[in-house]
Amino acid sequence: MPKRVKKRSRRIKFYKKNLKIPEAQNKMLRQFCRENKTTENKVFRRALREFLARNVHPVEHPHHEVNPNQLMLFDFLNEEMLDTGT
């Protein structure tokens, strides 16, 4: 039986962001990470994900009205189909 070939996973783009926090918050962050056995990066990503899920609403794209004359282009096809019974 031939070996299964692993599928290549799709490459994910990552972006670097710089963040400055005061010393007191840095101490609290490090303490939190030690207690919960996690990393600072994971804490930031989780907090950002939850914040965006609660506060970002999907953008509605404006619906453009179609000119009524555009719809008349295919009227002759509909009339032919109605006349032939198909």
Q: What is the pLDDT of residues 58-85, one digit of tens each?
A: 777 777 776 666 656 566 666 666 666 5
pLDDT for res 8: 83
pLDDT for res 81: 62
pLDDT for res 22: 96
One-character DSSP codes across the chain: -PPPPPPPPPPPP---------HHHHHHHHHHHHHHT--HHHHHHHHHHHHHHHH--PPPPPPPPPPHHHHGGGHHHHHHHHHHT-
| Res 19 pLDDT > 60 | yes
Can you give the residue ranges of every domain in the chain? 20-57
pLDDT over 70 percentage in the chain: 74
